[in-house]
Structure 1
């Protein structure tokens, strides 16, 4: 078989490795085995699994170098340890979020035919537990990247941050760490704010942050901030929804304020960054009108909303692109 054929088949089979990890995450095997190295029989008994099937799953995790097997007992390897909920850098919440994506991506073919996933179930309508799991997953995704973004962007000119859809405060925390004189407002759904309060208390930053409840699709944004962050927000929206959001930001922002957008910023041919091209399909199967956007598309929409001095402040491969724009003084009352 030609090397190109082998490579194509390897890509096509990649879902099998993924499914093994997702099932282990769904069962929460790594948390248990991290505390209690066990035999397949013990695992089957405790988790009420078929013994033969459980053994095959555990052995597959050994083959993937996520578990080790010694004297018939299984325990996590260093590679598999972060899949435990007890690991300080756990990735389990993201794995559990990927289980939700597995279901939606299973309808990709139908979504491509219709232009929309007819079986889509938004996170916001999937119950409080799923919503909390999603926010924990987003914290895992942003835990390291938020610090990198905060270090790479000059935050020193700003007095007060508005973090729109700020969830548990991952980016707010990173920004406040980099600018000790900055204060912030996290604006998100009322059901989400307790998660932000808990994390801010843990970080010792609660006294520097206001928590404002609201829905940015329906409600006006809090006023009085000179920096407004839209972090991983615009990809879930249609172009018109983003324009309306930019207008809300413009109206709420202080004169000469800055809007900062973090997201996949696509090159003009829309095939790079590769993660952004795949993420556009993720939005196809999981949202009504979401997408990934090129810098030109974002720039045109921001300018239509009244912003000026739009620039690409950072490009990247990991949803770490930054677009910056200013609210001019002469348009402050627009």
Structure 2
């Protein structure tokens, strides 16, 4: 075995060089799109006074989980502002939201595809295992080469690291839908697309939302890694605290990350439950129309039709 070496690193280097040479324009477009999304979200979160964003997040929290959670969110966000970490927290939140949004947009359709095809599922499993087990720092090397320094390579690395749970949970949720319910949809003449939208996805929503929750948490866990390649946010202060051995700054930035993580975790977890929608909030007595369940009720035999009237003895 002396002198024997499999040149995997050389192969990867050649592939990256080829991509950089021939697909540079494509990655420039991706960099522009991701950078524009990040700048827009960061502008929306950072430009208004902090109390405006605080009230908006508190209002969403109250609607999602009630007043107690809303009060806790207000206290947590107020603490972030009191620690003078509000700007950094909004930068981190913007990066997390953009990375999680793109990861969800990619992972859910792939998960649906995998749920409908055993071949696709078998091909995806080793790829997802690779994405989940690869050390996160390794993602930064090609990201920096392809996208340079800034928020974009951090977003790309976060997407690659965080999208696997979205695919797995989406596939698991759709495959877990009762087959008898799907057969009932076929019996009423529903198309495969309608069965997917009105039966499989609604019934799989708790599992899919659990996957989205994991995507967001993994995206947030990349804030420090993203700051190492030039992204703004709480990770930059954590890196500075590490380099200066500043325990106080590290504690403040770390506590702000924890508060954001708890808020995002509870909000996304609540979306998978049975909280009322806006329509039911304002129209509690109005049932949704055009659902397969409504059609089954409409086509079901009425009691007067199913059971003939029995003449009275009188």
TM-score (norm 2): 0.23
Higher share in helix: 2
Higher relative contact order (CA 8 A, sep 6+): 2
Which has the larger Rg? 2
TM-score (norm 1): 0.22
